[in-house]
Amino acid sequence: MKQCLRYLRGTTAFGLVFEKSATKIPRLIGYSDSSHNVDPDDGKSTTGHIFYLGGSPISWGSLKQETVALSSCEAEFMAGTEAAKQAIWLQDLIGEVTGMLSEMVVIRIDNQSAIALTKNPVFHGRSKHIHTRYHFIRECVENGLVEVEHVPGDRQKADILMKVFGRVKFHEMRELIGVREVTRNDFKLKGRMLDKLERSLSCKLI
């Protein structure tokens, strides 16, 4: 807990920047990833996803998968389903707020086999033992609700939500997902919120 508080105290000037988009509704883009078999006790994988509206992250999360995946392909496939459910919910929410339909959601995955599994039912031999609920992403692709694309592993933004990195790699991933230092001159509230947060963290550390 002290390490977390020290990190928060040292990064009070860091935040997310939300910029105005040229289009009425920016495209919703998600990144989905999975760490296969990371729990030594039960062999379950960890799922992570992060969604961007335009160039700004608006939703992210990570959780342990409920069933054991027999391969990294299956782990990525199941992670993609969790991301697809979040994508549909976000798309409906944006539609309710704006009153307009957004473009098809794009989900980017760094595993080619998992992408093929979402698009090609011929892969039945690989997927017949996967629980039916995880085939939701295949239905979304077939119905044109989401589009699945490949992203190189070094550009997979969801990695930071599941994996432990060294200092240098962590800083690279933090910058990649869009967290950056917000200078007081650029901050619209002129640092008032930063000062309040600093005082709050100082009290907790004491």
3-state secondary structure of 14: strand
Query: Which has more pLDDT, 196 or 73?
Result: 73
- Confidence check: pLDDT of 131 > 90: no
Q: What is the average pLDDT score of the chain?
A: 81
pLDDT tens, residue by residue, 68-95: 888 888 888 889 999 999 999 999 898 8
Yes or no: say if 50 and 81 are a contact pair by the CB < 8 Å rule. Answer: no
Task: Name the token pair of 103.
Answer: 């473009």
Report which of residues 119 and 121 the model is more confident about: 119
CB 177 within 8 A of CB 33: no
In the chain, domain spans = 25-163
Its pTM surpasses 0.75: yes
- Mean pLDDT, range 85-114, rounded to an integer: 88
Task: Please report, rounded to a whole number, the percentage of residues in the chain having pLDDT higher than 70.
Answer: 80
> 25-40 burial by CB neighbour count: b if 16+ within 10 A, else e?
bbebbbbbbbbbbeee
162-173: pLDDT as tens digits: 888 888 999 899
Question: What's the pLDDT at 184?
Answer: 53
Tell which wins on pLDDT, 197 or 141.
Answer: 141
The span from the CA of 131 to the CA of 68, in Å, is: 11
Please give the residue that has the higher pLDDT: either 154 or 102: 154
Average pLDDT over residues 187-191: 51
At position 190, the amino acid (one-letter code) is: K
Q: What is the CATH number of domain 25-163?
A: 3.30.420.10
Higher pLDDT, 85 or 193: 85
pLDDT of 121 reads 62
